[in-house]
């Protein structure tokens, strides 16, 4: 009996696998050990231009490896620009560093800034004036803000930090390392949330150091100066005096604290001001890089960790190690063909495959189509910056230079009024809609602005949107939409027009009866007028499940429902079982088409995505308007769709809008905020009963 251990024979294939594995591990180890600042051989010929996208403000770094992907090195002649303006950068150890200060954001529609490197001209910044005089005191600045409250009635900036009410004082403690004795300045920006008189007291410790008094839903600001001893922390509070009661509510926008300080950094960053020129070594920053901040950015000289500061300058000094890496550069997107098309679809990348069957269908109907990626439009019309007005610029260009000028524009992707993701995640399918200010609803979105090429308030191109978040939603709708137009025996439901009205007010029923006069004798006009506080669901849903050519609703509404009595809700909409009997929904109400809500799916959207029925398309508003202003739009749209069976829904809506007189801001809001959700090139089915009188 042998005591020897038998060693299994290793196959040649196994040996090769082990060898490849060891080689891979060695390669990864060498890559991990290699410094990103080491010189790297550029790849290919130098590119002429490249885009980089960075989020927010701060210090950014482009290392040698990233530059090499464009065929560049840090020593090459490069210029960096944003929105056409030069952005100075500094070369340090084979990397390029640049700084974007707070407030340099170029768009309301994305936290991303788009910058461009151009090859051939050297745009490196020149260091500011130097001085050897030591500086022992600077002014440090701390900016405190947040984005917890959204108030669309404030158009210049609808996001606020905190709500301030009587029972909940706002208390804040900030680190002030190196703070020296002297005057501390506290700049406070607030806004009134209620229409009452407001008073806010500012306390440091138990001492009231200032008050703010103002009235109504307005912004206010003040600067409070208070002398303090040296210290590494500062505590203060904002309170509403008891005598003002709980009705006095305010919004805190931002608080900026400035204090005399030794050159001491917080988290490897110093933001402040220098009153005199001189040389400074900052405690807490071992490898500084610095800029003078103002109308233009000026890089400041650094030698042996000593920063040379000019006099009377705003400055930022940061550790190079804190820079945010820019890991990817992009060559410009391909040029847009000037051949043009009848039907143009601007589609976010994640939905382009899912939308193709719809484009194929339109091609089969004799319409030429063109699919565009939003980034193509941003690169060519808004300098790479996310901006929905780039789509309008494309349409304007099409009018002048395309062989085929678009009749229809389809936008595929969801929008949000929180594009910075302050409180909700920005959808992957994000395709912004232009922000507009309205009389009653404040800030909202309007695809009408995109189609209004000459900016006269009226649309010039028929625009529709499919605000899908997922490919599954989009496919569900497109399947219904194609089947709708391929219907050969539509049935009696195409003879029906359902007129629904909110029972809360007699005005709504009266306006609905005006619409009834438009419906011809060969069609049935079935009315749904639930009384106030009635069991509306049992009346409305069965009638909608029967199907109709058009459903026209007039009354109160909100994002997710018709009427205060919940005549129809988003939940009801997804449960509709009208199958292929798909109506065109006209929603003469408020907010039912707010496809930009980050957390709620609007009623208009829910009707599109219903699996077993719903709508073929909807016209619905993104804001608040009055019934008096909606009536003309309603009657002209209904008349156009009923009298002309060849017109598409997008063209019918544009035609109706152009008949609304823009005699007031309210009229402008009606035209701007009633958007089409659905394919703008849909033609409604021809009623089966045309030419036959229906008993009503």
- Element holding 482 (H helix, E strand): helix 471-485
* Helix (H) or strand (E) segment spanning residue 150: strand 149-150
Distance between CA atoms of 386 and 365, rounded to whole angstroms?
A: 33
What's the DSSP call for residue 4? P
Q: Which pLDDT score, from 0 to 100, does residue 133 have?
A: 86
Are 503 and 528 spatial neighbours (Cβ–Cβ below 8 Å)? Answer: no
At residue 638 the predicted structure's pLDDT band, cuts being 50, 70 and 90, is: very high
Q: 2.60.120.260, 2.40.10.10, 2.60.120.20, 3.40.50.720: which CATH number matches 138-262?
A: 2.60.120.260
Burial classification of residue 565, based on how many CB atoms lie within 10 Å of its CB (0-12 exposed, 13-18 middle, 19 or more buried): buried
State residue 135's pLDDT score.
Answer: 93
CB 388 within 8 A of CB 348: no
Which pLDDT value is given to residue 2? 35
Task: Please enumerate in sequence order all residues whose Cβ is within 8 A of that of 596, keeping only pairs 6 or more positions apart, or say none.
Answer: 415, 416, 417, 433, 444, 445, 622
pLDDT tens string 520-572: 999 999 999 988 777 767 889 999 999 999 999 999 999 999 998 889 999 99
CB 643 within 8 A of CB 570: no
pLDDT of residue 295: 86
- For the domain 471-677, what is the CATH code? 3.40.50.1460
In the 8-state DSSP scheme, what is residue 134? B
pLDDT range class, residue 31, cuts 50, 70, 90: very low
pLDDT > 50? residue 17: no
502-506, 581-585, 618-622: which range is least confident on average?
502-506
CA 406 distance to own-chain centroid: 26
Give the DSSP H/E element, type plus range, for residue 259.
strand 250-261
Q: Which tokens in the block code for residue 318?
A: 């940061």
The answer to whether residue 27 scores a pLDDT higher than 50 is no
Task: Kindly tell me if the per-residue pLDDT of 69 is higher than 80.
Answer: yes
Q: What is the pTM of this model?
A: 0.92
Task: Give the C-alpha separation, 122 to 216, whole Å.
Answer: 53
pLDDT-derived band at 130, boundaries 50, 70, 90: low
Q: Answer whether residue 360 shows pLDDT above 80.
A: yes
pLDDT of residue 25: 44
Residue 584 Cα distances to 310, 426, 577, 641, angstroms: 66, 29, 15, 10
Q: Where is pLDDT greater, at 127 or 557?
A: 557
* Ranges 11-20, 217-226, 316-325, 451-460: which has the least confidence: 11-20
User: Binning pLDDT at 50, 70 and 90, where does residue 41 land?
Assistant: confident
pLDDT for 82-102, tens place per residue? 999 999 999 999 999 999 998
Mean pLDDT for all residues in the chain: 91
Fold matches, 138-262 and 471-677: no
At residue 574, the 3 state secondary structure works out as helix
User: Would the pLDDT of 696 be above 60?
Assistant: no
Residues near 20 by Cβ (< 8 Å), separated by ≥ 6? none
How far is residue 70's CA from residue 78's CA, in Å, rounded to a whole number? 12
The pLDDT confidence band at residue 26, using thresholds 50, 70 and 90, is very low
Confidence of residue 663 (pLDDT cuts 50, 70, 90): very high
pLDDT tens, position by position, 371-421: 999 999 999 999 999 999 999 999 999 999 999 999 999 999 999 999 999
What is the mean predicted confidence (pLDDT) over 420-426? Answer: 96
Q: What is the SS3 assignment for 269?
A: strand
User: What are the backbone dihedrals phi and psi of residue 39, each rounded to the nearest 5 degrees, phi first?
Assistant: -60, 140
Distance, in Å, from the CA atom of 332 to the CA atom of 522, rounded to the nearest integer, reads: 57
Contact between 584 and 641 under an 8 Å Cβ cutoff? The reply is yes
What does residue 32 show for φ and ψ, rounded to 5 degrees? Answer: -70, -35
Q: How confident is the model at residue 43 (pLDDT cuts 50, 70, 90)?
A: confident
CA torsion sign, 62 to 68 to 71 to 72? positive
Res 103: pLDDT: 86
Q: What does the DSSP assignment read for 271-320?
A: EEEESS-EEE--BT-SSEEEEEESSS-EEE-EETTEEEE-SSEEEEEEEG
| Whole-number pLDDT of residue 693 | 39
pLDDT digits (tens, 9 = 90+) for 263-298: 999 999 999 999 999 999 999 999 999 999 988 899
What are the φ and ψ backbone dihedral angles of 403, each rounded to 5 degrees?
A: -65, -40
Q: What is the pLDDT of residue 586?
A: 98
pLDDT for residue 126: 60
Enumerate the domain spans of the chain.
36-129+297-332, 138-262, 471-677
> Distance between CA 557 and CA 559 in Å, rounded?
7
């Amino acid at each position: 009996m042998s005591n020897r251990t038998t060693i299994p024979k290793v196959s040649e294939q196994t040996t090769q696998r082990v060898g490849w594995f060891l080689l891979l591990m060695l390669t990864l180890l060498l890559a991990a050990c290699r410094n990103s600042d080491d010189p790297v051989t550029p790849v290919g010929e130098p590119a002429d231009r490249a885009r980089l996208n960075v989020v927010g403000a701060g210090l950014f770094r482009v290392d040698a490896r990233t530059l090499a992907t464009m065929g560049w090195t840090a020593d090459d002649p490069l210029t960096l620009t944003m929105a056409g303006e030069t952005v100075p950068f500094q070369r340090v150890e084979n990397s390029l560093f640049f700084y974007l200060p707070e407030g340099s954001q170029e768009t309301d529609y994305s936290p991303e800034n788009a910058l461009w490197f151009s090859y051939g001209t050297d745009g490196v910044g020149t260091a500011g004036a130097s001085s050897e005089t030591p500086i022992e005191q600077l002014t440090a600045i701390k900016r405190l803000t947040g984005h917890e409250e959204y108030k669309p009635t404030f158009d210049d900036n609808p996001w606020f930090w905190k709500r301030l009410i009587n029972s909940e004082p706002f208390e804040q403690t900030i680190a002030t390392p190196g703070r020296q004795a002297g005057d501390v300045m506290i700049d406070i920006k607030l806004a009134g949330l209620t229409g009452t008189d407001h008073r806010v007291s500012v306390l440091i410790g138990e001492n009231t150091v200032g008050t703010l008094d103002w009235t109504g839903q307005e912004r206010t600001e003040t600067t409070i100066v208070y002398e303090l001893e040296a210290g590494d922390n500062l505590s203060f509070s904002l309170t509403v005096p008891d005598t003002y009661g709980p009705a006095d509510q305010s919004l805190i926008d931002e608080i900026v604290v400035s204090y005399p300080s030794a050159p001491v950094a917080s988290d490897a960053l110093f933001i402040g001001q220098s009153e005199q020129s001189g040389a400074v070594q900052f405690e807490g920053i071992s490898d500084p890089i610095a800029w003078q901040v103002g109308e233009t950015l000026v890089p400041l000289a650094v030698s042996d960790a000593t920063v040379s500061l000019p006099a009377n300058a705003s400055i930022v000094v940061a550790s190079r190690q804190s820079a945010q890496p820019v890991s990817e550069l992009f060559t410009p997107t391909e040029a847009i063909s000037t051949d043009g098309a009848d039907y143009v679809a601007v589609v976010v990348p994640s939905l382009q495959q899912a939308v193709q069957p719809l484009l194929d269908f339109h091609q089969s109907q004799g319409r030429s189509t063109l699919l565009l990626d939003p980034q193509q439009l941003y690169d060519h019309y808004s300098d790479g910056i996310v901006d929905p007005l780039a789509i309008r610029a494309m349409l304007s260009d099409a009018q002048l230079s395309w062989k085929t000028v678009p009749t229809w524009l389809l936008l595929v992707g969801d929008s949000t009024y929180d594009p910075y993701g302050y409180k909700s995640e920005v959808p992957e399918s994000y395709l912004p809609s232009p922000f507009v200010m309205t009389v009653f609803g404040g800030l909202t979105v309007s695809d009408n602005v995109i189609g209004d090429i000459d900016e006269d308030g009226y649309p010039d191109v028929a625009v529709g949107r499919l605000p899908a978040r997922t490919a599954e939603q989009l496919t569900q709708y497109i399947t219904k939409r194609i089947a709708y137009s391929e219907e050969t025996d539509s049935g009696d439901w195409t003879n029906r027009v359902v007129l629904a009205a909110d029972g809360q007010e007699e005005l709504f029923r009266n306006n609905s009866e005006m619409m009834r006069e438009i419906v011809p004798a060969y069609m049935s006009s079935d009315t749904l007028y639930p009384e106030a506080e009635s069991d509306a669901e049992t009346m409305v849903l069965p009638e909608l499940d029967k199907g109709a050519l058009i459903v026209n609703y007039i009354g109160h509404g909100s994002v997710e429902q018709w009427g205060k009595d919940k005549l129809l809700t988003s939940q009801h909409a997804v449960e509709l079982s009208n199958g292929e009997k798909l109506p065109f929904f006209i929603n003469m109400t408020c907010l039912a088409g707010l496809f930009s809500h980050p957390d709620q799916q609007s009623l208009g959207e829910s009707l599109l995505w219903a699996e077993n029925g719903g709508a073929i398309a909807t016209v619905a508003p993104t804001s608040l308007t009055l019934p008096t202003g909606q009536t003309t739009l309603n009657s002209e749209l209904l008349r156009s769709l009923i009298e002309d069976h060849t017109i598409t829904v997008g063209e019918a809506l544009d035609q109706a809008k152009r008949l609304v007189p823009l005699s007031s801001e309210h009229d402008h809001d009606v035209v701007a905020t009633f958007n089409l959700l659905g394919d703008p090139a849909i033609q409604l089915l021809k009623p089966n009963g045309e030419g036959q009188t229906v008993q009503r």
